Chain A
Amino acid sequence: METIKKNQYLHRKFQIGDYTILFLIAGLFLLLTLTSSTFCTHDNLYSLLYGVSIQFFAVIGFTLLIIMGEIDLAVGSMYGLSGTLVGFCMTVWKWKLLPSALLVLIVCALFGYLVGTLVTKFKLNSMMVTLGSLSFVSGVNAVVFNSFTAVTYNAEYRSLAKFKIGGIHWTILAMIAIVVVLEFLLQKTPLMKKYYYIGNGPETARLYGIKSDRYKRVAFMLSALTSAIGGIIATSRITHSDVLTGNGLEFTLITALVVAGASLAGGRGGILKAALGMLFIAMLANGMTIYRIDPFIQQVMQGIVLIVAVYLDVRMNSKKA
């Protein structure tokens, strides 16, 4: 009698909507493979994956913020700034790679924590605040960038992005590892589960003793930190600092997350979905490039994808309310 009763209450509804991103990726993959001879080649797919794996770093902290219903629009500028700052340290102060990177990461993390403190302490709208920090950081980026001649970096730095393990770039392996580990942690640890609680009901979470503010501050710090990591690697890949690195990255990240099923209102999403979303957007760009579509039309397409994705998100989520 006990077992019957138990099973009766454990029925889970399978929500097909949760997995649309897989269908999207599969569909796009199929489309591109069938219509282009160059898409489904090892070189193309590998370089696609490689590109995503570097930008992926920026989405780690960003995803945590989205789950909690906040946002950090400065991720792109932080991504750019870190590369410039490392370049500055190495070129002007003649530091080595490791100390430069450490310093830059600490600075960026502190900045992120500061932003998080402003948002939580004064209950500010994270969109508006990070719109400001976006400007601020990209301004700093431009100033620092122009203060030294950007040379091609030394071999040590250049090799950072190119380092391979077993024939595969370490960033791809890192991305896979991080996705696996972090997704597991998100779903399976009490600590991470709290992010979802906070995102689904900040007042309720607070009522039952979850210190939302603390989690948010940490997430803002992580967002800045992981973007900085990504930026350092990205700069290494192109072997010199470029002030345009990371420009518009936040836009890509938002689109990737919303397309993959996260909601800007919070409470949904995950690292796996984020990575898949980024893969989808990268495939889209890749496909458009293969079709020789103008990069600027690509930009237009991305804008359209963002708006459509958010529109569908609004439609679906407001039904729930």
Chain B
Amino acid sequence: MQQNENILEVRDISKSFGAVHALRNVSFSIRRGEIHTLLGENGAGKSTLIKVLSGEHAPDSGSIVIDGEPVKTFHPLTSRAAGITVVHQELSIFENLTVYENIFPYREAEHKLIPKKQLIEKVQKAAARFDLEIDPEARMGDLRLSVQQMVEILRALTENAKIVLLDEPTSGLNTQEAENLMCILKRLRDGGITIIYISHRISEIMEISDRVTVLRDGTYINTFVNDEHLTENMLISSMVGRDFEKSIYSKKHSTVPADAEVIFEARNFSKGKSVIDASLSVRRGEIMGVFGLEGSGTYEFSRMMFGLHARDAGSVFFEGREIKRLTPTAMIQQGAIFLNNNRKDAGLLFNMSVADNMALPVIDRLTKGAFLSRRAAEDYALSFVNQFAIVLNSIYDKPSSLSGGNQQKVMLSICLGTKPKFLIVNEPTRGIDVGAKLEILRLLNEIVKTGVSVLCFSSDLPELVTLSDRIAVMNTGRVAGVIDCDDISENSVMQLAAMDVVEKGA
């Protein structure tokens, strides 16, 4: 049987979730025995593609061909059987068990008892084959993340995986460990394993890849060969290169004076490896955007500055005064409020009515005398329904009956009810359709006109470019830089976000 040059072919794959098109007619192929990187910003469709390849999702249309055999059923166990193993960012390991137990959880047909010695030997052999040093009897939980990752890779290899897919493998590793990993991956490749590498760290990609495929907005853009002609700029441009005339977004012209007063400052926030000495400031009347690719620390930073996450260091100054005990209550008292990203996570109460939701932060105010006034609560809720044109049947409905965009508007109402001076927003338009996105953006702009300052964390670059007066860019836990309005472009932002950050000092 003639061996196909391509070990994996993605043919015309499309996948939508409701109104959101995650993948649109994506086609490319992966050659046997290469390290092939998938590059794209958040929302480009990488994670959906991973889920299709691992069998977790079935595509709406299109097909996957592995080693000449088209995939018939999409199920995690069949994908493994076909030879694809995915090593996720969140390792699925068993901490209290040993290495060899993590690598070989399944029974071999002929054995009634666990052949401990044999398994240990198998691990040692496999490790030696790829020049890894692992103690088969060590307890998983005692090992460092980099070694745990290695064990998971080994598990894939011993299951005779032909293709190992690694999703952002270096996000938890330090430089040395990342280097080691890449050496090992090269060795694996030389040994005949095909590797699909998902990352957005341009320098890593340049070092390790044989070829790079770029996705953007769910569509296939290009596949580059990593030869001497390939430059980092080419990769970055293809990540962001959108045709601006055809775009629904238009770039902002900032009206905020350069010497506007600073209303909010977060200084020197640190937490472990996820956020390192990050600081930023927001001026009155401006929308400060914060952009970062996955693993850059934006999520943690946003939550830390509002007092939702524990931190190792960092202080917050509001209108010049430090907030000593940083808690959500303290921030709200000062006039700040947090608009969360994942509605299901926190931010909306799905078992209470829309009216109850909106009343939450201001419940003490909706009273007549000492008691809650139904009338006051209704008027309050209705005013937001009108102001934001929220589509619903009744304010006593539960949020689950509203569309994503309207749920977001309800959350906005909850936040604005406190009449904040300062709004921290986290992913304002995640998971909602294009029409609703525009509406939310318009509303945000209107809010700013009324004097509220906004700090908007988002991984949607075009949106941020449209919205922001300035953009702070985070990269591997640090603030890589702040870009002023006139210099804002997707390209300039992505440069800071994806390129290696030059470390100051040591």
Q: A residues engaging B (CB < 8 A)?
A: 6, 8-13, 187-190, 193-194, 196-197, 200-201, 203-211, 267-268, 320
Chain B residues contacting A11 (CB-CB under 8 Å) are 393-394, 396
* Stretch of B291-299, B342-350, B453-461 that contacts chain A: B342-350
Interface-side segment among B194-202, B206-214, B316-324, B362-370: B362-370
Q: Which residue of chain A has the shortest Cβ distance to B303 in the bound complex?
A: A207
Give me 22 A-to-B residue pairs in the complex whose CB atoms sit less than 8 angstroms apart, sorted by A's number: A9-B385, A9-B392, A9-B394, A9-B395, A12-B394, A187-B372, A189-B370, A193-B363, A194-B363, A197-B352, A201-B346, A201-B351, A203-B345, A206-B308, A207-B347, A208-B328, A208-B337, A208-B361, A208-B414, A209-B333, A210-B329, A320-B350
The SS class assigned to the A binding surface is: helix
Within 8 Å by CB of B346, from A12, A193, A207, lies A207
Complex Cα gap A217–B393 (Å): 38
Whether A208 and B360, one on each chain, are in contact in the complex, defined by CB atoms closer than 8 angstroms, is yes
Q: Can you name the residue of chain A whose Cβ is closest to the Cβ of B379? A: A6
Instruction: For the complex formed, measure the closest distance between the CB of B474 and the CB atoms of chain A, giving whole angstroms.
Output: 22
Interface centre among A9, A187, A194, A210 (most CB of B within 10 A): A9
Is A13 within 8 A of B396, CB to CB?
Answer: yes
Assuming the A-B contacts A200-B351, A208-B328, A209-B332, are A10 and B346 also in contact, with contact meaning beta carbons closer than 8 angstroms in the complex? no
Complexed CA–CA distance, A320 and B395 (Å): 19
- Taking a contact as CB atoms under 8 Å apart, the answer to whether A10 and B378 are in contact is yes
Question: Whole-angstrom distance between the alpha carbons of A206 and B482 in the complex?
Answer: 31
Contact with A along B358-391 (1 / 0, CB 8 A): 0011011011001110000010001001000000
Q: Whole-angstrom distance between the alpha carbons of A190 and B329 in the complex?
A: 16
Determine which of A197, A201, A208, A320 lies in contact with B332 in the assembled complex, contact meaning CB atoms within 8 Å. A208
* Inter-subunit contact A188/B372 (CB<8 Å): yes
Query: Within 8 Å CB of B363, what residues of A?
Result: 190, 193-194, 197
Does the CB pair B346–A190 fall under 8 Å? no
State whether A200 touches B340 (Cβ < 8 A).
no
Within the complex, which residue of B361, B367, B382 is in contact with A9, where a contact is CB–CB below 8 Å? B382
Interface size on B, residues (CB 8 A): 37
* Interface residue? B264 (CB, 8 A): no
Give Cα distance in the complex from A320 to B360, angstroms.
21
Give the chain B neighbours of A207 by CB distance below 8 A: 308, 328, 338, 340, 346-347
Expressed in whole angstroms, the Cα–Cα distance for A188 and B359 within the complex equals 13
A204: chain B residues at CB < 8 Å are: 346-349, 360
Q: How far is the CA of A207 from the CA of B426 in the complex (A)?
A: 13
Contact B395 A203 (CB under 8 A): no
Please state if A189 and B348 are interface contacts (CB–CB under 8 Å). Answer: no
Q: How far is the CA of A196 from the CA of B351 in the complex (A)?
A: 10
Chain B residues at the A interface, C-beta cutoff of 8 Å: 308, 328-329, 331-333, 337-338, 340, 345-352, 356, 360-361, 363-364, 366-367, 370-372, 378, 382, 385, 392-397, 414
- Which residues from chain B contact A8 at a C-beta distance below 8 Å? 394
Instruction: Name the distance in Å between A278's Cβ and chain B's nearest Cβ.
Output: 25
CB proximity of B103 to chain A, nearest CB, Å: 33
Given contacts A12-B394, A188-B371, A189-B370, contact A201 B349 (CB under 8 A): yes
* Bound Cα distance A211, B370 (Å): 20
B372: contacting residue among A6, A189, A268, CB under 8 A: A189
List, in ascending order, chain B residues with CB within 8 A of A267's CB.
351-352
**Smallest CB-CB separation from A204: which chain B residue?**
B346
In the complex formed, the residue of A with least CB distance to B357 is A204
Docked CA distance A320–B364 (Å): 29
Residue of A with least CB distance to B414: A208
With A and B bound together, what is the CA distance between A13 and B396 in angstroms? 8
* Min distance, Cβ B433 to any Cβ of chain A, angstroms: 23
> Which residues on B sit within 8 Å (CB–CB) of A320?
350-351
Q: Is the CB of B385 within 8 A of A190?
A: no
Q: How far is the CA of A268 from the CA of B331 in the complex (A)?
A: 29
The chain B residue with its CB closest to the CB of A193 is B363
Give the CA-CA distance A295 to B363 in the complex, in Å.
48
Task: State whether A203 and B346 are in contact (beta carbons under 8 Å apart), knowing that A188-B372, A193-B363, A208-B360 are contacts in the complex.
Answer: yes
Contact B372 A193 (CB under 8 A): yes
Docked pose: A268 CA to B397 CA in angstroms? 17
Task: Say which residue of A9, A13, A190 sits within 8 Å of B364 (CB atoms).
Answer: A190
Pair A190/B382 contact, Cβ less than 8 Å: no
User: Complex formed: what's the CA distance from A196 to B359 in Å?
Assistant: 12
Expressed in whole angstroms, the Cα–Cα distance for A103 and B372 within the complex equals 36
The answer to whether residues A190 and B372 also contact, given A6-B382, A10-B395, A209-B361 and a CB cut-off of 8 A, is yes
Q: CA–CA, A11 to B308, complex, Å?
A: 36
Q: Report chain B residues within 8 Å CB of A193.
A: 363, 372
Residue in contact with B396 in the complex, picked from A12, A187, A188, A194, CB distance below 8 Å: A12
- Which residues of chain A have C-beta atoms less than 8 A from B340's C-beta? 207
Report whether B349 and A10 are in contact in the complex, using a CB–CB cutoff of 8 Å.
no
B71: min CB distance to chain A, Å = 32
The residue of chain A having its C-beta at the shortest distance from the C-beta of B386 within the complex is: A5
Q: Nearest B residue to A202 by beta-carbon distance?
A: B346
A76 to nearest B CB, angstroms? 30
Chain A hits for B371, CB < 8 A: 188-189
| Cα–Cα, bound, A208→B331 (Å) | 10
User: What would 4 more interface pairs be, CB under 8 Å, given A207-B308, A209-B328?
Assistant: A6-B378, A13-B394, A197-B349, A320-B351
Query: How far does the alpha carbon of A203 sit from the alpha carbon of B345 in the complex, in Å?
Result: 8
- Looking across the interface, which residue of chain A has its beta carbon closest to that of B363? A190
Collect the chain A residues with CB atoms within 8 Å of residue B338's CB.
207
**Bound state CA distance, A243 and B402, in angstroms?**
55
CA distance in complex: A86, B96 (Å): 49
State whether B360 touches A197 (Cβ < 8 A): yes
Nearest Cβ on chain B to A155's Cβ, whole angstroms: 42
Contacts of A268 in B (CB 8 A): 351
**C-alpha gap A207/B343 in the complex (Å):** 12
Q: State the Cβ distance, A181 to closest chain B Cβ, in Å.
A: 12
Nearest A residue to B353 via CB reads A12
Closest to A268 in B: B351
What's the Cα separation between A309 and B345 when bound, in Å? 29
Choose one: B308, B329, B345, B364; the contact of A211 (CB below 8 Å): B329
Closest CB in chain A relative to B326 CB, distance in Å:
13
Question: What is the chain A residue whose CB lies nearest that of B367?
Answer: A190
Given the complex, which residues of A lie within 8 Å of B346, measured CB to CB?
201, 203-204, 206-207
User: Please, how many angstroms separate the alpha-carbon atoms of A268 and B356 in the complex?
Assistant: 14
- Min C-beta distance of B331 to chain A, whole Å: 8
Contacts known (A9-B385, A189-B372); A205 close to B360, Cβ less than 8 A:
yes
Residues of chain A lying within 8 A (CB to CB) of residue B329: 209-211
Partner of A206, one of B328, B367, B378: B328
CB-CB under 8 A from B393, the residues of chain A are: 9, 11
The docked-state distance in angstroms from the alpha carbon of A190 to that of B360 is: 9
Cβ–Cβ < 8 Å partners of A10 in chain B: 378, 394-396
CB-defined contacts of A197 to chain B, threshold 8 Å: 349, 352, 356, 360, 363
CA distance A13 to B393 in the complex (A): 11
CA distance A320 to B351 in the complex (A): 8
- Interfacial chain B residues near A206, Cβ < 8 Å: 308, 328, 346
CB distance from B327 to the nearest CB of A (A): 8
Residues of B within 8 A of A6 (CB): 378, 382
9 residue pairs, one from A and one from B, having the closest CB atoms: A203-B346, A209-B332, A11-B394, A190-B363, A208-B361, A209-B329, A201-B349, A12-B396, A200-B349
How far apart are the CA atoms of A29 and B503 in the complex, in Å?
77
B179 to chain A, nearest CB (A): 38
Shortest CB distance A194–B (Å)? 7
A265's nearest neighbour on chain B, judged by CB, is B351
Task: Look across to chain A and name the residue whose beta carbon is closest to the beta carbon of B373.
Answer: A188
